[in-house]
Structure formats: structure tokens, C-alpha cells
Amino acid sequence: MTGGGQMWGGRFAAALDPEFARFQHSLPHDHVLAFADLATNRAWSRALAAVGLLTATELGTLHAAIDELEARWRRDGVPAGDPAEDVHSLVERELVARCGDLGKRLHTGRSRNDQVATDLRLHLRQCVQDCLDGLHRLCAALVDQAERHAAAPMPGYTHLQRAQPITIGHHALAHAEALGRDRDRLLAALRRSAQCPLGSGALAGTALPIDREALAAELGFDGGPTRNSLDATSARDHLCELAFACAMAGTHVSRLAEDYVFFAAHETRFLSFGDAVATGSSLMPQKRNPDAMELVRGRAGRLQGALAALLATLKGLPLAYNRDLQTDKETLLPAMRETADCLAIAALAVQHATFDVDRCAAEAARGYQNATDLADLLVAAGVPFRDAHGLVGAAVNRAVELGVELHELPPAEVRRLLPQLQVDLQQALAVPAVLARRDAVGGTSPARVRQEVARWRRQLAAWTATATNGGDEDA
């Protein structure tokens, strides 16, 4: 058999060098496309029958073989270690073994170039859904924390310096907001890939009178067929979009992990992790390490690396298909699996995190975090804010000297430093009062946090309904 029996071996008399054969062997990476490849074969065979190249009997024989192969692989797994060159070669070989020459006719009018582009888009639907499920799970865990702690104070930070009091619930929902945008990015990237490349051939389009609109509809591509065969076989920008969405989600979940690792430190002690997501030390018996969140934080770098690798691969490629594109799957698909895994583990860690609300509340009242509120009180008394800022700065310095908080300044010091004020600082600068003032949309007041929890509950229900309706946001 010519060319070592390869699909492309018509012009070749000898087999590949074994070292190169191993190097270009892609089945260990693309075997995950097997079920998508069976779907494209099923659709393509129906398209061939529609133009008279297969009889109804032949079509039935092929579909029976495809169904049998699918059932076998779902039961036993796709043989990733098979010597077949790629998933397309594996599927064709198995169909030929079941249907004889009829299996060879299935590739009529088609190239592996448009085939893999279609398979990948089909397979990515499930990859995206796995990430969406992870985002839903993590956001739900954060909303649960927010509901439990809508009114529970904690220190808020900028520059890792205590800044102003917030609630634990407000902090949880801040992370949920970022993750919600990651969901939007994933869905937007998926929408832009909702065109069907099948029928584009190697680069110039198929010579058969295939109804590509019907083909796209059968495979569930809402955007119809691709409109340019050169672009269809070479385009991978939708992969970069997905890689960016994964990298951004990884960055957001890494930031959540960093916050929780910091909160769990002995020096902070805002929260503790349950046994399900923490580990100990093989040497130091007292240790309780936040390993789940640390591993999530560490793996975010790999997601960023996948985006950089894809962009670097595409940067120098001419139209149309180039074999460099074989590496797209071994770059993107592990990144998408890693994203889904990190989201799931982060959700577990949030679910098993217990806040020490008493300590958080006590620390929210320390560190002069109510200084801005004192300036606002001066503004209400008629002092320009810039002047009020200076007066409060001096009051903070004096409080530091005395070893007290602003609301603990002796009355004589208040009269000397802040003569404009006629209010009870103990009451006006208490943490509940500070939180309650921040009642504008997006603020940290307990009332606003509870409203946002309710909104998030509706949002999560809508996400569930969208998934139930097959991804139709308008259903």
C-alpha cells in the first residue's frame, strides 16, 4: 500500500521515518474529537446521499456502522494509543473495516482541513459548557456566602492596606461579578464560532452541489455555513477568544484564591478551610494549609500560557491550512479542561470556607478605616473636602500617638482638632453606621448586598434555564 497506507499516500512510495511518524502522530491529542467526527461523518454521508452519490441503502449501512462504532467507544473509550495517524484516519479505518469500499467513499468532496475545523467547533461546545457549569457552581457558592454574611463587617483593602469597612457578602459578590463577565466572554466566543466549515474542502470549497445550509442546520450551527472556504479552514481566532476567556477566568479565580489564602493566614484569621479542602505538613503537625486555593492560583499561569502559545502559533501563518494548526488542540483543550477543574475546586473551597465573623467585625473597627467617614462628616458641617482631608489626617496622627481609634479620641482632642463637629463620634463612626451610609447602587451597605443577592439568585436561575434550553439566552 502506498505511503505506508496513509489517507494522503497516493503519491508516496515509502513509509514515513519512524521518528517523524511519532512526531506527527496526533491521535493522543485529537482522539477527544472522535464523537464530533462521527457526527460530521453522519451529516456528510447524508449530504452525499442528497446529491446522488450514495443510495438510501448505502446511507443506512454507513449510519449503522457509525452508530455501532459510537456505542462501542462510549462503552470502552476511544483508543488514544491506536497507531492511526489522527482521529480522522482512525474513524475511516474503522468504517472501512465495517463497510468495505463504502467507507472509503465517505471522504468524497471533503478534506481533513474542513473536517477538523468542524469537529473542533462541535467539540468545543461541550468544553465551553463544562466551564459554564464551573462558573455557575462557583458563583452560586459565592452568592451563598454573600447571603449568609450580607451584614457581617470585614476590613476592605487597597494596596493590601486596610482602607474602609465592607461586608463579607460584598466581597463575595465582587468576585461573582468578575466571574459573570467571564461567562459572557465564553458565550460570545462560542457564538462567533457558530458557523459550519464543513463543505469548504481543503481551501477552495467542495466541487459537489452540497446544501451547506442544510448541513450546518443538521450539525446545530445557528450561524449557517462559513462564507469563505479559505478563511473557514484556517481561522482559529475563535480558539484564541476561548483561550482568553479561560485565561481571564483563571486570573479572576486566582485573585479569589489569593484573597482566601490571605484571609486564612494566622496573621489574619478571617476564615478557615474545612478538612475537605485543606492539607497538613508531613513535618509540622500544627500546619493547616490552604492547598486547594494555592493549586488553583498556581494553575492560572498555565491558562495564560495557552493563550500566548496560540497567538504565537497563528502570528506567522499564511492562508490557508498549515500543519502548525495541528498543535491548536493540544494547547487549547487541556486549558479548557484546566479551567473547568479550577472553577470546580474553587467552588469547593468557597463552600468549605468558614468566616470568623466576630474577628472580622472586630478588625473592621480597627486601623482608622472610618477616616473617610469622618471627612464626610466635616463636609456635612460645611468644611471643603480637601480641607477636611487634611484635618482628618492630623486627627489620625494624633490617634496613632494616643494608641486609640478615631472614634475613641478623647472629647478634648476632638474639640481641639475638629471644632466644626457637633456629633457623637462613637455612634457616627461605628462600623454599622459606616456600612449603612454606602447605600447607593453597588455599595456595601447590608441592604444593598441583600438586594444584590436577590438579583444574583434570579441571574443564577436564568443561567440554569438557559442551559436547560440548550444555550438559547432568549428562551
User: Three cell numbers at 89?
Assistant: 484516519
Q: Yes or no: say if 434 and 364 are a contact pair by the CB < 8 Å rule.
A: no
**Which one from 159, 193, 234, 252 is the annotated catalytic residue?**
159
**DSSP secondary structure of 284-347:** -TT--B-HHHHHHHHHHHHHHHHHHHHHHHHHTPPSS--GGGGHHHHHHHHHHHHHHHHHHHHH
281 is catalytic: yes
What does the CA dihedral 93, 95, 100, 101 come to, rounded to 10 degrees? -80
Instruction: Tell me the three state secondary structure of residue 249.
Output: helix
Q: Which residue has the cell 467571564?
A: 182
Distance separating alpha carbons of residues 472 and 475, to the nearest angstrom: 5
Query: What residues have CB less than 8 Å from 97, skipping those under 6 apart?
Result: 103
Query: What residues have CB less than 8 Å from 161, skipping those under 6 apart?
Result: none
**Which one from 281, 352, 389, 445 is the annotated catalytic residue?**
281
User: Three cell numbers at 276?
Assistant: 475537605
445 is catalytic: no
User: Three cell numbers at 39?
Assistant: 457526527
Distance separating alpha carbons of residues 310 and 449, to the nearest angstrom: 40
Q: Yes or no: say if 221 and 194 are a contact pair by the CB < 8 Å rule.
A: yes
Distance separating alpha carbons of residues 132 and 143, to the nearest angstrom: 16
Give residue 278's Cα distance to chain centre. Answer: 23
Query: What residues have CB less than 8 Å from 402, skipping those under 6 apart?
Result: 409, 410, 413
Instruction: Tell me the three state secondary structure of residue 133.
Output: helix
Distance separating alpha carbons of residues 154 and 353, to the nearest angstrom: 15
Distance separating alpha carbons of residues 66 and 42, to the nearest angstrom: 7
Q: Where in the sequence numbering do the catalytic residues fall? A: 159, 281
